[in-house]
């Protein structure tokens, strides 16, 4: 018998836990800010409804129907398609190797927050950047200079993998129960941070930046690219994991509804986190007397530089707020990390090679940790950035587009829809078939070409040296090749079924 979620809420919480993650707290707010504030919400919602939810229904439906992880699903569609199930497994695996490093930084920050180690008041505010780059990362001059691992980060990383091992080695039963806690705790923490944020002076200015729509931005294709890729990323699609999670659902259970619940809960969390973050950004502007544009809101800087600046400047309870914020990131990250490792990698390996769960879990944890050491070195941030572009942009979008095409045209979108409708309260119409067959893959391919290839081929990604930026293509091709190799290996029937 395949393992099962012991109840429906456990599956839903596990799926929500995978979806809400670092992406909701730092990526969503800064994208919103960068792409026209409130206007960004429009493409974001359009993408959620026309792309995210239908795609999630597809992944849930496939997992439940075939009762296998991603490679098993594509093998079920046709022996020659199995590689298309392995490619996202590689993507998920590479993603978790560095995602856990970001969680390790969060943990270090939670600890540093106890004493507000970067300093309070003006001194802390001006020292927060240096703290991140010099103290936490010990950043080197470029991707060619790796240097030694930063031991504190490495230690936290090892600790995280031990926790992940203990959550995963018993499978869905424990994952489901742990997820309920690890989803509810960040929600409570975010609520506390929100209240703190909106009661700070200057909060209103931040919220104005967050929500005032700049409608002219809608004409800019970049905004749409950003919305597409953010929705795919935030819903944890295209990573093989959702398919595996759904494969533990009993054949008769509803999945369409679960896809709606999961997607909306995730996006509501992002929206909510935006208030907590932007009210705080507004406060920094006022306290430091700088316009919002100068608050470094981009990427990791938002969570690890701007927020610490705010913590330094807060009128009281600095340490508490710091600890809560970084613990929130930590918990949010952990649920996504075990989702990637378990659903994305361990289940496919167990399905294919008949490995026992404990053994498969131990192997994956050990290898992923070892690769993660690279990102804890002084040059690690550069590689993290390059790897992020490779897997969470190209890998995710390309494998997602191919999966939709194969499911839509080879397996048959209609067949899958009938399967979904047979057990679901919400019945979807034929429009869904066309979303999967044409709209979603076309949108994804468009983003890959215009938002990706056109830029990264014209000039090395982010101005890195050519040899380093070229690793994007090397890794993509290597993982594709390895996926074909895995397809060629004969499947061993699992011992005892699971």
Binding residues for ligand PHE, per CB under 6 A?
18-19, 21-24, 233-234, 236, 239, 241, 336, 339-340
Q: Can you tell me the distance from the alpha carbon of 177 to that of 154, in angstroms, rounded to the nearest whole number?
A: 28
The dihedral formed by the CA atoms of 347, 353, 358 and 360, expressed in degrees to the nearest 10: -70
Q: Can you tell me the distance from the alpha carbon of 393 to that of 450, in angstroms, rounded to the nearest whole number?
A: 12
Assess contact for 235 and 336: CB atoms under 8 A: no
Q: How far is the CB of 101 from ligand PHE (least distance, A)?
A: 14
Q: How far is the CB of 328 from ligand PHE (least distance, A)?
A: 12
Q: How far is the CB of 165 from ligand PHE (least distance, A)?
A: 18
Residue number, 36 or 395, with CB nearest to ligand PHE: 395
Q: How far is the CB of 92 from ligand PHE (least distance, A)?
A: 7
Q: How far is the CB of 266 from ligand PHE (least distance, A)?
A: 7
Q: How far is the CB of 378 from ligand PHE (least distance, A)?
A: 25
- Residue 135's contacts (CB-CB under 8 Å, 6 or more residues apart) are 117, 118
Q: How far is the CB of 121 from ligand PHE (least distance, A)?
A: 32
Assess contact for 270 and 28: CB atoms under 8 A: yes
Q: How far is the CB of 314 from ligand PHE (least distance, A)?
A: 26
Closest CA to 70 of 94, 86, 90, 92: 86
Residue number, 235 or 311, with CB nearest to ligand PHE: 235
Q: Can you tell me the distance from the alpha carbon of 49 to that of 464, in angstroms, rounded to the nearest whole number?
A: 36
Residue number, 98 or 275, with CB nearest to ligand PHE: 98
Residue number, 236 or 279, with CB nearest to ligand PHE: 236
Measured CA to CA in angstroms, residue 144 lies from 14, 116, 390, 463, 473 at distances of: 39, 32, 18, 13, 18
Residue number, 185 or 218, with CB nearest to ligand PHE: 185
Residue number, 99 or 118, with CB nearest to ligand PHE: 99
Residue number, 236 or 483, with CB nearest to ligand PHE: 236
Task: Tell me which residue has tokens 């026992």.
Answer: 356
Q: How far is the CB of 262 from ligand PHE (least distance, A)?
A: 11
Tell me how crowded residue 40 is: count the other CB atoms within 10 A of its CB. 25
Residue number, 152 or 276, with CB nearest to ligand PHE: 276
Residue number, 105 or 118, with CB nearest to ligand PHE: 105
Report DSSP state, residue 81.
Answer: G
Q: How far is the CB of 336 from ligand PHE (least distance, A)?
A: 4
Crossing angle between the packed helical segments 256-288 and 172-198, to the nearest 10 degrees? 30
> Facing residues of 213 across strands?
37
Task: Give me the helices (H) in 169-255, please.
Answer: 172-198, 203-211, 221-234, 241-246
Residue number, 340 or 413, with CB nearest to ligand PHE: 340
Q: How far is the CB of 383 from ligand PHE (least distance, A)?
A: 18
Measured CA to CA in angstroms, residue 413 lies from 35, 74, 404, 496 at distances of: 34, 14, 9, 32
Measured CA to CA in angstroms, residue 267 lies from 23, 92, 214, 224, 362 at distances of: 11, 21, 21, 17, 33
Residue number, 117 or 193, with CB nearest to ligand PHE: 193
Assess contact for 344 and 93: CB atoms under 8 A: yes
Q: How far is the CB of 248 from ligand PHE (least distance, A)?
A: 17
Residue number, 105 or 339, with CB nearest to ligand PHE: 339
Q: How far is the CB of 286 from ligand PHE (least distance, A)?
A: 29
Task: Tell me which residue has tokens 């918990």.
Answer: 331
Task: Specify the DSSP element, H or E, that contains 433.
Answer: helix 431-434
Residue length of the chain: 498
Q: Can you tell me the distance from the alpha carbon of 301 to that of 30, in angstroms, rounded to the nearest whole number?
A: 10
Rg of the chain in Å (alpha carbons): 22
Measured CA to CA in angstroms, residue 198 lies from 79, 107, 256 at distances of: 55, 25, 36
Q: Can you tell me the distance from the alpha carbon of 269 to that of 266, in angstroms, rounded to the nearest whole number?
A: 5
Report DSSP state, residue 428.
Answer: P
Residue number, 23 or 197, with CB nearest to ligand PHE: 23
């Amino acid at each position: 018998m395949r393992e099962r979620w012991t109840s429906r809420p456990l599956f839903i919480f596990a799926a929500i836990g995978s979806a809400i993650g670092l992406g909701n707290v730092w990526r969503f707010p800064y994208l919103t800010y960068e792409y026209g504030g409130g206007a960004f919400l429009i493409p974001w919602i359009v993408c959620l409804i026309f792309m995210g939810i239908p795609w999630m229904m597809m992944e849930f439906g496939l997992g439940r129907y075939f009762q296998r992880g991603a490679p098993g699903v594509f093998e079920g569609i046709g022996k020659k398609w199995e590689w298309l199930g392995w490619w996202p497994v590689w993507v998920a695996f590479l993603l978790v190797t560095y995602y856990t490093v970001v969680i390790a930084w969060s943990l270090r920050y939670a600890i540093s927050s106890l004493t507000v180690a970067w300093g309070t008041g003006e001194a802390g505010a001006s020292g927060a950047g240096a703290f991140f780059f010099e103290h936490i990362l010990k950043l080197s001059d470029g991707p060619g200079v790796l240097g030694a691992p930063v031991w504190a980060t490495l230690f936290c990383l090892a600790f995280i993998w031990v926790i992940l091992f203990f959550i995963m080695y018993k499978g869905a039963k424990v994952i489901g129960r742990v997820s309920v806690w690890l989803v509810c705790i960040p929600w409570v923490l975010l609520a506390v941070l929100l209240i703190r944020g909106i009661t700070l002076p200057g909060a209103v200015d931040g919220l104005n930046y967050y929500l005032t729509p700049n409608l002219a931005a809608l004409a800019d294709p970049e905004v749409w690219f950003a919305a597409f890729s953010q929705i795919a990323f935030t819903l944890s699609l295209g990573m093989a994991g959702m398919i595996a999670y759904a494969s533990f659902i009993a054949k008769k259970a509803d999945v369409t509804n679960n896809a709606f619940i999961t997607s909306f809960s995730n996006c509501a969390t992002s929206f909510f986190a935006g208030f907590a973050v932007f009210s705080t950004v507004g406060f920094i502007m006022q306290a430091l007397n700088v316009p919002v544009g100068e608050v470094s809101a981009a990427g990791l800087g938002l969570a690890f530089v701007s927020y610490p600046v705010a913590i330094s400047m807060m009128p009281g309870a600095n340490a508490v707020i710091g600890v809560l914020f970084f613990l929130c990131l930590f918990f949010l990250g952990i649920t996504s990390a075990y989702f990637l490792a378990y659903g994305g990698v361990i289940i496919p390996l167990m399905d294919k090679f008949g490995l026992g769960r404990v053994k498969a879990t131990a192997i994956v944890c050990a290898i992923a940790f070892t690769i993660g050491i690279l990102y804890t070195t002084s040059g690690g941030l550069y590689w993290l950035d390059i790897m992020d572009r490779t897997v969470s942009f190209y890998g995710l979008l390309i494998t997602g587009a191919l999966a939709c095409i194969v499911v839509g045209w080879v397996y048959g979108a209609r067949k899958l829809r009938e399967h979904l409708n047979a057990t679901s309260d919400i019945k979807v119409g034929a429009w869904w078939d066309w979303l999967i067959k044409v709209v979603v893959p076309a949108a994804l391919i468009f983003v890959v070409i215009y938002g990706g290839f056109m830029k990264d081929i014209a000039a090395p990604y982010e101005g890195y040296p050519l040899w380093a930026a070229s690793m994007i293509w090397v890794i993509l091709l290597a993982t594709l090749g390895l996926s074909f190799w895995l397809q060629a290996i004969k499947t061993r029937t699992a011992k005892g079924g699971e």
